[in-house]
Chain A
């Protein structure tokens, strides 16, 4: 396997990387362009702008906390997870690439990896959260700093989820929202593991295509 491929894949893994590899990944992947006008919070964190840390916590603290609360069993776990996610964010902010994702999606991606990693390590079950459960439900509007971005991304995701068949949607929710493994989903739904994998594969592909269509529509308008 080529070194570049190893580095890219390792950077996407859900487990911590060796420090040496971590440094290499920071240099090679997710290049940013801090020279662009109106540098984002993540670009400023990457450039070690001291005020950016506070801004980041103000803007994304509620989101990260909310996700951590839903993916952990108790308050203490949620606090630990939130700290780990922000530490990760300080260290990996330079990997964000504005041409590939929105800032809020990148923050959510790091949060998801960390929370799944913790969840799988603890091998514990979490309670089903009904938040975001109905793909056709109206999303609440709040006054948080990043609410508009979250609303945009969530609406897109909810619409795409709504286009999946019922069983596909159930499998993808158990997998992404609850962090269950293939085998756990198979048990829960009394479905052969091969079918679970097929649903996951098809669902992820359909969701990706749907979201890319949305992006193209937004780009064209």
Chain B
């Protein structure tokens, strides 16, 4: 898929970053955009991903929920198996 993009258009660039971070733009779609500055894009995605994750953290609301004991043991046994 080839998307029209003017790499000098900041809004378009930021749209792509947002779309990628929020899961609306796939890697394949992004890779098809030849005029995109991929290094800058990767840097911006990384920073935005962290910001989105901090917002996602508020979903927990610091609920204090505990992992069920059986699931905890299962995860630890998987970790011990390498």
Enumerate chain A residues within 8 angstroms of B79, measured Cβ to Cβ.
53, 57, 86, 90
A10, A54, A64, A207: which contacts B27 (Cβ < 8 A)?
Answer: A10
Count A-B contacts at CB 8 Å.
Answer: 204
Can you list, as one digit per residue, whether each of B12-36 has a CB less than 8 Å from chain A (1) or not (0)?
0011011111111011001100100
A5, A111, A129, A144: which contacts B39 (Cβ < 8 A)?
Answer: A5
CA distance A148 to B20 in the complex (A): 31
A9-B30, A9-B42, A208-B47 are known contacts. Are A139 and B61 too (CB-CB below 8 A)?
A: yes
Beta-carbon contact of A131 and B59 below 8 Å: yes
A116-B23, A131-B60 are known contacts. Are A201 and B14 too (CB-CB below 8 A)?
A: yes
The answer to whether B78 has its CB under 8 Å from any CB of chain A is: yes
Enumerate chain A residues within 8 angstroms of B45, measured Cβ to Cβ.
9, 12
Q: What is the interface size of chain A, counting residues whose CB is below 8 A from a CB of the partner?
A: 79
The answer to whether A98 has its CB under 8 Å from any CB of chain B is: no
Enumerate chain B residues within 8 angstroms of A157, measured Cβ to Cβ.
54-55, 57-58
Max count, chain B CB within 10 A of own CB: residue among A15, A157, A179: A157
Beta-carbon contact of A131 and B31 below 8 Å: no
B14, B41, B54: which contacts A211 (Cβ < 8 A)?
Answer: B54
CB distance from B80 to the nearest CB of A (A): 7
Beta-carbon contact of A79 and B71 below 8 Å: yes
A66-B63, A204-B17 are known contacts. Are A105 and B57 too (CB-CB below 8 A)?
A: yes
Residue contacts A-B, CB under 8 angstroms, 20 given: A6-B38, A9-B27, A50-B80, A54-B76, A62-B67, A66-B65, A86-B79, A109-B53, A140-B61, A142-B63, A142-B64, A144-B62, A153-B54, A161-B55, A176-B56, A177-B59, A197-B15, A201-B17, A204-B14, A204-B18
Footprint of B on A, CB under 8 Å?
Answer: 1-2, 4-6, 8-10, 12-15, 50, 53-54, 57, 61-67, 69-71, 79, 82-83, 86-87, 90, 100-101, 104-106, 108-109, 111-112, 116-117, 120, 129, 131-132, 139-144, 147, 150-151, 153-154, 156-158, 160-161, 172, 175-177, 179, 181-182, 197-198, 200-201, 204-205, 207-208, 211
